[in-house]
Amino acid sequence: MSETFTQGYNNKADCNKADCIENAEQHGMDGEEQEEDPPKVKDTEVVDDPEEVDGPEENSTPPNRYNVSSYGWDSDVEGLVKRLDREDICLPKFQRGFVWDRADQSRFIESLILGLPVPNVFLAQDSKSNKLNIVDGQQRLKSLQAYLNGEFYLSGKYVQEELKGRYFSRDVARAKSSKVLEDRDARALSDAVLHAIVIKPDPVHDDPARGHEYNQAIIQIFQRLNTSGTPLKAQEIRASIFYGSFYDLLVELNKDDAWRELFGSSHSHSRLKDVELILRFIALREKSHSYRPPMPKFLDDFMEEHRNIDSGKAARIEANFKSIVDKVRSTIGKEGLRKGNLLSVLRFDAVMAGFDAYLQTHPEPSAQELEERLKMLEDDPDYKSSAEQWVNEAGRFRKRLERAREIFGAA
């Protein structure tokens, strides 16, 4: 809720709806409760994380030098937003978590109106489509696009009073009574220039097995140019590089109600751990026989191979995944995937593989029988030894899945 809107109302109960709307309209805010962003949702904690277990990939050390062709490109804000709307400049499909709230976005917009310099953005030219993919600057570019398209008005503790509550223009304002920028401020924002560095990666740095979309120079830029200072996680990089129909499928499966309940949150994980677990299940179901560590590379390779999956195979994967998670939810529930209160990746692997095997021979699952088989698995010496250390070593990994399938799938 905006500061002006709430001034004098320490309790929402003190302000009836009519008074609130009248007070908001006087300040040009159309009764919108915008400035108070939704509370930050704590991510579900995941243990036995494959990246942490594997450690850094030995063969992923980059070369000491890169041949990167790049050029500077200046564009005004209005032109950038038009290109974003046409998708000539493409936003990565992953959501690292859009970490800027309305106050952060407003502060950035205000800087441009005031004529202050802002950081460069980095774009990479796609060699096939010639479109520009955002490497660094997603927060800034998305903020500009959202503001010029009327998705929010300026707000925040540190924004100048004369700018607060103002939409970009009358064309995009929510109501006739909404306040909009003065003409001089709207022109200043539209004409403000952002400097972009456009990268044309050298094919010599393409990954030998995975091609130009996994250019090592671009990967290094993804990892290093993070304005928050926190390196991208493996699944965030995969989502950026291997976007396509398979990633679209992962995103849709991540919205499944049964899966959200099992994962333990109605909100997507800010670092895509939920999407990575879905990828992990599908990859292991399809290709566990050819698994070789490290796990991150195994998942990279699978996602690249299935990047443009055909609709028929996608439909089969979707049906299988939804069937399994629905049965897990209705029998052993989300506790079956956990060690205490933490979601366990090793347990997830075993339960999902075991249920998959069980449902092939037991169309009507018994919750009691499934709980008994899960207990049998946890007590199985072979399973226990394979889950104690070096858990992603190929032999131990395949042994774990093998025992889960044998114990759950027994007639």
Two tokens at 18? Answer: 């009519």
**pLDDT of residue 284 exceeding 90:** yes
Task: Of 43-57, 227-241, 290-304, give the lowest mean pLDDT range.
Answer: 43-57
Mean pLDDT of 355-368: 87
Confidence of residue 65 (pLDDT cuts 50, 70, 90): confident
- The predicted pLDDT at position 363 comes to 77
Mean pLDDT of 251-273: 94
More confident residue, 93 or 243: 243
> Which range, 84-98, 124-138, 333-347, has the best average confidence (pLDDT)?
333-347
**pLDDT of residue 223 exceeding 50:** yes
Residue 200's SS3 state is: strand
Confidence of residue 52 (pLDDT cuts 50, 70, 90): very low
Residue 300 CA to chain centroid, in angstroms? 16
**pLDDT of residue 214 exceeding 70:** no
Mean pLDDT of 291-307: 91
**pLDDT of residue 59 exceeding 80:** no
Q: In sequence order, what are the residues at sequence separation of 6 or more whose Cβ sits closer than 8 angstroms to the Cβ of residue 281?
A: 321, 348, 349, 352
**pLDDT of residue 11 exceeding 80:** no
Mean pLDDT of 380-395: 86
Query: Buried (b) or exposed (e) across 43-59, using 16+ Cβ within 10 A?
Result: bbebebebbebbeeeee
- Spatial contact of 299 and 238, defined as CB atoms under 8 Å apart: yes
- The predicted pLDDT at position 325 comes to 96
Q: In sequence order, what are the residues at sequence separation of 6 or more whose Cβ sits closer than 8 angstroms to the Cβ of residue 196?
A: 72, 73, 74, 75, 120, 121, 122, 123, 137
Report the relative pairing of strands 89-90 and 121-125 from DSSP bridges.
unpaired
**pLDDT of residue 25 exceeding 80:** no
- The Cα–Cα gap between 129 and 275 comes to 27
**pLDDT of residue 175 exceeding 50:** yes
**pLDDT of residue 53 exceeding 90:** no
Task: Of 80-89, 156-165, 355-364, 401-410, give the lowest mean pLDDT range.
Answer: 355-364
- Spatial contact of 273 and 45, defined as CB atoms under 8 Å apart: no
Task: Of 193-197, 200-204, 265-269, 285-289, give the lowest mean pLDDT range.
Answer: 200-204
- The predicted pLDDT at position 149 comes to 97
More confident residue, 216 or 334: 334
More confident residue, 326 or 230: 326
Torsion of CA 138, 98, 154, 156, to 10 degrees: -120
Percentage, residues of the chain above pLDDT 90: 52
- What pTM does this model have? 0.62
- The predicted pLDDT at position 19 comes to 36
**pLDDT of residue 74 exceeding 50:** yes
Confidence of residue 37 (pLDDT cuts 50, 70, 90): low
- The predicted pLDDT at position 197 comes to 94
Sequence-distant contacts of 124-132: CB under 8 A, at least 24 apart? 124/198, 124/199, 124/200, 124/201, 124/218, 124/221, 125/198, 125/199, 125/200, 126/90, 127/200, 127/201, 127/203, 127/212, 131/87, 131/88, 131/89, 131/90, 132/83, 132/88, 132/89, 132/90, 132/198
More confident residue, 133 or 145: 145
Give the residues across from 232 on adjacent strands.
none
